[in-house]
Amino acid sequence: MKRVLLCYAAGAAGAFANTLLGHLLSQAGLLAALGTRVLVPFGPPSLYARLVWGGLWGLLLVLPPLARMKPLKAGLLVSLAPSAAQLFYFFPRAGAGLLGEGFGLATPLVVLALNAVWGVAAAHLAREGR
C-alpha cells in the first residue's frame, strides 16, 4: 500500500511540475512560437484536475517492470500513456481533432514533451521515496 500511495503522490507532484512548466511556456509565448495554440491554465479547477489525473497515471509506476527501470527510462515510457490518451481520446472529444491538429501542427510534440517532464519527475520522486 505504501508503494501505491507513493506513486500516486509522485504522479501528482509530476503533474504540478508539468502544469507549472506548461503554464510558464504558454504565458511567455513560447508554445505559440512553436506553432501550437495549447494554453495551460494554472487556476484551481484545472490544477486540481491535473493533479488528480497525474496521480492516477502515476499508479502505473507501481508495475514491477517500471519499478525496476532507471527513473529516466521509466518516466519516459510511462509518459506515453497520458500522451496517447490526450492525443487520441481527449483532444478528439474536445473537437481539436486527432493528435490535437486543431491546436496546431506542433501540438503532439508539445504534449509529448510536457508529459515527459511529468513522467520523469514522477519516476524520480517515486524512486527517491523507496
CA-based nearest residue to 19, from 27, 71, 75: 27
- pLDDT at position 46 is 87
- The residue to which cell 502505473 is assigned: 60
Residue 89 identity: Y
- pLDDT at position 130 is 60
Phi first, then psi: give them for residue 121, nearest 5 degrees.
Answer: -60, -45
- pLDDT at position 38 is 83
DSSP class of residue 106 equals T
Per-residue pLDDT of the chain (130 residues; tens, 9 = 90+): 899 999 999 999 999 999 999 999 999 999 999 889 887 888 888 899 999 999 999 999 999 999 889 999 999 999 999 999 999 999 999 989 999 999 999 999 999 999 999 999 999 999 876 6
- pTM confidence score: 0.90
Whole-angstrom distance, CA of residue 55 vs CA of residue 122: 9
If DSSP codes are grouped into helix, strand and coil, which group holds residue 38?
A: coil
First and final CA of the chain: distance in angstroms? 12
Q: Which three cell numbers stand for residue 68?
A: 525496476
Supply angle C-alpha 44, 41, 9, rounded to 5: 55
Q: Which three cell numbers stand for residue 59?
A: 499508479
- pLDDT at position 40 is 82
- In this structure, the chain runs to a length of 130
